């Protein structure tokens, strides 16, 4: 199921075309290889969130080849850094290359491995934590992320509407994972949460 009407999606995309050449190259690669990036509209939202909370440190569960991290860095000042994680070296290698081209290498720590182990080694606190890894483990990401987030920091997750699959009971671990995660972020009293039906659904939770 498309969450947003395709004409509206196109209208919004046309309002905000990407102009950065590296970002455009990343978007072309994603389209060519059908790689699931957050896309320009959600990317812009990430940059805006980073600016609004004056973010200096961001952690990502699942960075792919660096598209979402690139957007976070656009929203942060020169001091801002992103801790990226991906379990595939090929993605990390591409991210290194893109960040070098964009002159952002010194602002990104590109880690290869399981994000759930990597976060344990990070001192925290982070201003923003993005959850965009395998959906079955979203509830575990919630448990791992919350203690590492500063008060006033944001937990952001992509794909929380999961192409409409969240509407029904499911046996699929990915759908169950997204549904459980959603229950956690909408009921935990330490968080103020909203869900934006943008692209495939983005949740934004602010920690008290």
Ligand X SMILES: C[S@@+](CC[C@H](N)C(=O)[O-])C[C@H]1O[C@@H](n2cnc3c(N)ncnc32)[C@H](O)[C@@H]1O
C-alpha to C-alpha distance for 38 and 57, rounded to whole angstroms:
19
**Would you say 126 and 25 are in contact if contact means Cβ atoms under 8 Å apart?**
no
Q: Does 88 bind ligand X (CB under 6 A)?
A: yes
**Would you say 158 and 146 are in contact if contact means Cβ atoms under 8 Å apart?**
no
Binding residues for ligand X, how many (CB under 6 A)? 19
Task: Give the other-Cβ count within 10 Å of 106's Cβ.
Answer: 8
Nearer to ligand X, 63 or 182 (CB): 63
Q: Does 37 bind ligand X (CB under 6 A)?
A: yes
Among 127, 120, 121, 173, which residue's Cα sits nearest to residue 149? 127
Nearer to ligand X, 88 or 190 (CB): 88
Provide the angle, in degrees to the nearest 10, between the axes of the packed helices 21-33 and 39-52.
Answer: 140
- Choose, by CB under 6 A, the member of 25, 27, 134, 188 that binds ligand X: 134
Nearer to ligand X, 34 or 169 (CB): 34
Q: Does 177 bind ligand X (CB under 6 A)?
A: no
User: Quick one: which segment of 3-11, 63-71, 146-154, 183-191 binds ligand X (CB under 6 A)?
Assistant: 63-71
- Choose, by CB under 6 A, the member of 85, 179, 203, 205 that binds ligand X: 85
Cα 91 vs. chain centroid, distance in angstroms?
15
- Using CB under 6 A as the binding rule, the residues of this chain from 98 to 127 that contact ligand X are 114-116
Residues pairing with 85 in the sheet: 111
- Positions touching ligand X (CB under 6 A) are 36-38, 62-64, 67-68, 85-88, 91, 114-116, 132-134
């Amino acid at each position: 199921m498309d969450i947003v009407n395709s004409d509206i999606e196109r209208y919004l995309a046309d309002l905000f075309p990407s102009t950065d050449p590296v970002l455009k190259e990343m978007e072309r690669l994603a389209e060519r290889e059908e790689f699931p990036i957050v896309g320009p509209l959600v990317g812009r939202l990430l940059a805006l969130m980073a600016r609004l909370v004056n973010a200096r440190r961001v952690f990502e569960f699942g960075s792919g080849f660096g598209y979402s991290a690139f957007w976070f860095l656009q929203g942060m000042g020169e001091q801002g850094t992103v801790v990226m994680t991906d379990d595939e070296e090929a993605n990390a290698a591409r991210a290194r290359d893109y960040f070098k081209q964009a002159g952002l290498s010194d602002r990104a720590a590109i880690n290869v491995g399981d994000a759930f182990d990597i976060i344990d080694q990070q001192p925290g606190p982070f201003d923003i934590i993005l959850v965009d890894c395998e959906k079955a483990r979203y509830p575990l990401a919630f448990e791992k992320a919350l203690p590492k987030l500063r008060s006033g920091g944001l937990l952001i997750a992509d794909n929380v509407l999961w192409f409409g699959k969240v509407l029904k009971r499911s046996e699929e671990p990915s759908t169950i994972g997204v549904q459980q995660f959603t229950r956690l972020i909408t009921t935990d009293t330490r968080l103020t949460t909203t869900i934006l039906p943008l692209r495939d659904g983005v949740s934004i939770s602010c920690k008290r």
